[in-house]
């Protein structure tokens, strides 16, 4: 069901700053805006988790961070360690990037094992895992295989994009994810979402989170 009020719309938004040059001032502003709008989460680089934890400690806003970002090509043990350190620092949601090359090589067991290990770690911490498959780099067949892998892994969400590839979220990709993922797997659309109309179309297609660096602008323009 589409959100009818600003309050309902806000609960879809992961307000995001993942630029390499994001300053502490920008992260503070991100958290202040998240509190003001009551967003679902902020999504930041791992080095900013503790700052967000301090700023959001009296709120119900989740702290999302990224693992293996943005390429997904780290050694699995490095991703696992990064995830563990992020959880210890105070992250409550992990947005991890799959090993895209391994998926293209049809090494599906590698991809699923890597996700499953991070899911196991996050389950112990009662946190959420969102799996970024970077749809811009995949064929339709590869997207379908990714949906199956994420469903088998026990992850909470499948996510379209890092926001650093040539394109981001599309309505068609969200529809495909909803068709081929297990019903228990939620969808996060991210990358290039700058208008309310586009965000609502993605939600209508099946997205339950919207990752965007334009959260405040979307709220200001929500009718």
pLDDT digits (tens, 9 = 90+) for 22-66: 999 999 999 999 999 999 999 999 999 999 999 999 999 999 999
Residue 1: pLDDT band by 50, 70, 90 thresholds? Answer: confident
Task: Exactly one of 79, 102, 130, 159 is catalytic; name it.
Answer: 159
159 is annotated as an active-site residue: yes
Hey, what's the torsion of the CAs at 165, 166, 171, 173, to 10 degrees?
Answer: -60
4 is annotated as an active-site residue: no
Percent of the chain with pLDDT over 90: 99
Residue 96 reports pLDDT greater than 90: yes
Mean pLDDT within 66-92: 98
Handedness of CA 142, 44, 121, 190 (dihedral sign): negative
188 is annotated as an active-site residue: yes
Residue 13 reports pLDDT greater than 90: yes
Mean pLDDT within 87-103: 98
pLDDT digits (tens, 9 = 90+) for 133-152: 999 999 999 999 999 999 99
Cis, peptide link before residue 70, omega less than 30° from 0: yes
pLDDT digits (tens, 9 = 90+) for 200-214: 999 999 999 999 999
Mean pLDDT within 1-6: 95
CA distances from 178 to 9, 181, 189, 214 (A): 20, 6, 12, 24
- CB neighbours of residue 2 within 10 Å: 10
Task: Exactly one of 95, 143, 156, 186 is catalytic; name it.
Answer: 95
Task: Exactly one of 130, 143, 186, 188 is catalytic; name it.
Answer: 188
Question: What is the crossing angle of helices 171-180 and 196-205, to 10°?
Answer: 20
Residue 223: pLDDT band by 50, 70, 90 thresholds? Answer: confident
pLDDT digits (tens, 9 = 90+) for 169-199: 999 999 999 999 999 999 999 999 999 999 9
Distance CA 10, CA 61 (A): 11
Residue 4 reports pLDDT greater than 90: yes
Question: What is the crossing angle of helices 171-180 and 140-153, to 10°?
Answer: 50
CATH 3.20.20.70 describes domain 6-221: yes
**pTM of full prediction above 0.85:** yes
Average pLDDT, the chain: 98
């Amino acid at each position: 069901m589409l959100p009818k009020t600003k309050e309902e719309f806000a609960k879809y938004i992961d307000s995001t700053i993942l630029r390499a040059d994001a300053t502490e001032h920008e992260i503070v502003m991100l958290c202040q805006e998240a509190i003001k709008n009551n967003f679902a989460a902020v999504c930041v680089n791992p080095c900013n988790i503790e700052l967000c934890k301090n700023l959001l400690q009296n709120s119900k806003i989740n702290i999302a961070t990224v693992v293996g970002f943005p390429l997904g090509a780290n050694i699995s043990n490095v991703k696992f360690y990064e995830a563990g350190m992020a959880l210890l620092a105070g992250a409550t949601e992990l947005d991890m990037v799959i090993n895209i090359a391994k998926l293209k090589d049809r090494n599906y067991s590698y991809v699923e094992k890597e996700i499953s290990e991070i899911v196991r770690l996050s389950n112990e911490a009662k946190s959420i895992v969102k799996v970024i498959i970077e749809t811009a780099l995949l064929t339709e067949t590869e997207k379908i295989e990714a949906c199956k892998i994420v469903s088998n892994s026990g992850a909470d969400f499948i996510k379209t994009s890092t926001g650093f590839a040539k394109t981001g979220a599309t309505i068609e990709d969200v529809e495909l994810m909803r068709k081929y993922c297990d019903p228990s797997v939620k969808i996060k659309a991210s990358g290039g979402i700058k208008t309310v109309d586009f965000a609502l179309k993605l939600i209508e297609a099946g997205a339950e989170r919207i990752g965007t660096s334009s959260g405040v602008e979307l709220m200001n323009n929500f009718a």
